[in-house]
Amino acid sequence: MTGCGVKQATSIEPGTTDENSALNDSLPSPENENNSNESTTSVSKTNTNLVVKIKPQPQFEPITKPQSSKKIVKTDAEWRAILNPEEYRILRQKGTERAFTGKFDHHFKEGTYTCKGCGTALFDSTTKYDSGCGWPAFFKANENTIDETIDRSYGMIRTEITCKKCDGHLGHVFNDGPNPTGIRYCVNSASMGFIPAEENKQSKPEQKK
């Protein structure tokens, strides 16, 4: 010990080890390095043979959750029997009528627009407006009557709308509508029927006072 209480440095005899020499011993030798590289190369070569499979996206992907209410299910022959060829093509085969040709494009009478396939009341006439797109347009649908599905057909990504009751194709919905919803339901005329307001009033039983 020295006078200040610090140990004097001792010399390291040949053949003894310190931290540096232990570290050197732990490092791989050039031979080990070569072996390591060979192992890495072998793994790399193996990886190049791997084939990555990408699962294709479905053309139609549901957005809204299915409801517990019973759906109307018919055979293809039954649908053909109750729909004319144009209605069948659009409702059951997801077709589209030519713009500005539908009977409801410039139709603004008071009443209710229904599903042509099953009669479900889809839209009230108070929500219909002239969008100029060539198809009937509505800014709001009746609650719990429409399902939405991601549609990737024709190289586009759109949102398809179908009748919740019978799965009939109606058209598409877009986020470019007017206030108060900002939504535009773009619907084929052939997908819909219409009940005038007068008939609705007559069909409802008169309430007793």
Residue 28: inside a domain: no
Average pLDDT estimate for 112-140: 98
CATH number of the domain within which 174 lies: 2.170.150.20
Average pLDDT estimate for 96-117: 98
pLDDT tens string 36-85: 444 444 444 445 566 556 666 667 667 665 554 689 999 999 999 999 99
171 near 187, Cβ under 8 Å?
yes
- Give CA–CA dist 106/153, Å, rounded: 28
Residue 139: inside a domain: yes
Residue 108: inside a domain: yes
Write the DSSP symbol of residue 60.
Answer: E
Torsion-angle region of 17 (φ positive above 0: left; ψ -120 to 50: alpha; else: beta):
beta
Residue 101: inside a domain: yes
Q: Which residue has the higher pLDDT, 3 or 103?
A: 103
Residue 160: inside a domain: yes
Residue 34: inside a domain: no
- 102: buried, middle or exposed (CB in 10 Å: 19+, 13-18, 0-12)? buried
* pLDDT band with cut points at 50, 70 and 90 for residue 199: confident
186 is catalytic: yes
Residue 131: inside a domain: yes
Average pLDDT estimate for 108-119: 98
Residue 119: inside a domain: yes
- Give CA–CA dist 139/182, Å, rounded: 7
Catalytic residue among 115, 118, 163, 186: 186
- Give CA–CA dist 3/21, Å, rounded: 31
* Terminal-residue alpha carbon distance, the chain: 114
- Give CA–CA dist 98/73, Å, rounded: 28
User: How many structural domains are present in the chain?
Assistant: 1
- The sign of the CA dihedral 10, 15, 17, 23 is positive
Which residues form the domain of 195? 61-203
Tokens of 173: 């919905």
Average pLDDT estimate for 125-131: 98
The tally of CA atoms less than 13 A away on the side-chain side of residue 30 is: 0
**Is pLDDT at 190 greater than 60 in this prediction?**
yes
Average pLDDT estimate for 170-193: 98
Number of H helices, E strands in the chain: 5, 10
The tally of CA atoms less than 13 A away on the side-chain side of residue 133 is: 20
**Is pLDDT at 3 greater than 70 in this prediction?**
no
Is the pTM above the cut of 0.75? no
